[in-house]
Amino acid sequence: MAVLHAWRAARVTPLGELHAPPRMAAVLVRLTVQVVLVASLWSGLYAHSGPTAGLSREQAISYAVLAVLASRLRELDQYAGRDTVLQHMHFGTIVYWYLRPLPPARYHALRALGEQLYGAAWALAGYLVCLAAGVVQPPGSAAVAGVFVLSLLLGQLVLYFVMLLLDQLCFWTVQNNSAMLILIFAQNLLSGVYAPLWFFPDWFRTMSIFLPFQATLGVPLSLYVGRIQLADATAQLAIQAGWVLLLFLLTRFVWRRAARRVISQGG
């Protein structure tokens, strides 16, 4: 029974996407356009220069394209499923999360897992196409590929807990739209989605060290393209794992505090 409940929770948002072919077609078109544009942009930037900030032309293009593909891991239309914390807080239905067989924290995590698995299917398909077309370089070795996958998994956990904190904010503010916009911008900028962090000034890179954002995407992609050497991977993985543990404990504490604010009136 527990497995059945877990499966139903995990498939909420992916089912919404699979039952909306126009939305899937739009995702395909947008993803294709983004890959073509970023590949063309970085090709143009390196047309008359050699390696910059420790990245060759091929490394930069691979990094940029992989960043676009990785964005598909958590870019589903959650509102279409009508199951976001924001919507439940607005309509007062968040209380049902505390009446289900699954605890709210586990339900939220399972739903996010389903979203990431669905997004990973898009990202993997795009990666294989780009790899076959020569747009993305293959990993330097099997060891690099393994470390990259592990780092990417840790990065997605960090990102999940960061986004969870934003959802939990709704228990105190009800609305989190403005905070969401700020966080998405900060995440994309400080994780290296817009450009690898090595292109930014020293003070910017130093500041990013004390924030969890680069652990979400910048570190895995840097390991893949070889900007972070395999010998330094252990330290980077340890930092990512540290962020996962810290954010897990913090969100667990906030879940407990949030439960005190949920009030059920009536029968």
Mean pLDDT on 77-82:
60
pLDDT of residue 242: 96
Taking only the tens place, the pLDDT of each residue in 15-63 is 777 777 887 888 889 889 999 999 998 888 888 777 777 788 888 899 9
Residue ranges with strand state E in the chain? none
Structure confidence at residue 224 as a pLDDT band (50, 70, 90): very high
Residue matched to tokens 């400080």: 190
Please tell me the distance from the alpha carbon of residue 234 to that of residue 67, in angstroms, as a whole number.
Answer: 22
**Is residue 88 scored above 70 in pLDDT?**
yes
pLDDT of residue 82: 67
Please tell me the distance from the alpha carbon of residue 223 to that of residue 256, in angstroms, as a whole number.
Answer: 36
Neighbouring residues of 65: CB distance < 8 A, sequence distance ≥ 6: 35, 38, 39, 130, 135, 136
Q: What is the pTM of this model?
A: 0.88
Structure confidence at residue 3 as a pLDDT band (50, 70, 90): low
Taking only the tens place, the pLDDT of each residue in 153-202 is 999 999 999 988 888 888 888 677 788 788 888 888 888 888 888 888 88
pLDDT of residue 124: 92
Sort 156 into a burial class: Cβ within 10 Å, 0-12 / 13-18 / 19+: buried
Tell me the sheet residues that pair with 55.
52
Mean pLDDT on 121-131:
92
pLDDT of residue 247: 96
Sort 205 into a burial class: Cβ within 10 Å, 0-12 / 13-18 / 19+: middle
pLDDT of residue 267: 43
Cβ contacts of 130-136, under 8 Å, gap ≥ 24 = 130/35, 130/65, 130/69, 135/35, 135/39, 135/61, 135/62, 135/65, 136/61, 136/62, 136/65, 136/66
Looking at every residue in the chain, the average pLDDT score rounds to 84
pLDDT of residue 75: 60
Mean pLDDT on 202-215:
89
Neighbouring residues of 50: CB distance < 8 A, sequence distance ≥ 6: 56
- Picking from 8-12, 179-183, 250-254, which range would have the lowest pLDDT averaged per residue? 8-12
Residue 156 in contact with residue 116, Cβ under 8 Å? yes
Q: What percent of the chain has pLDDT over 90?
A: 33
pLDDT of residue 240: 96
Please tell me the distance from the alpha carbon of residue 176 to that of residue 190, in angstroms, as a whole number.
Answer: 20
**Is residue 253 scored above 90 in pLDDT?**
yes
pLDDT of residue 118: 86
Mean pLDDT on 107-135:
89
**Is residue 116 scored above 80 in pLDDT?**
yes
pLDDT of residue 117: 86
Higher per-residue confidence, 153 vs 107: 153
Among 88, 100, 102, 108, residue whose Cα is nearest residue 163: 108
Residue matched to tokens 């964005």: 71
Task: Give me 119's structure tokens.
Answer: 């997004």
Structure confidence at residue 2 as a pLDDT band (50, 70, 90): low
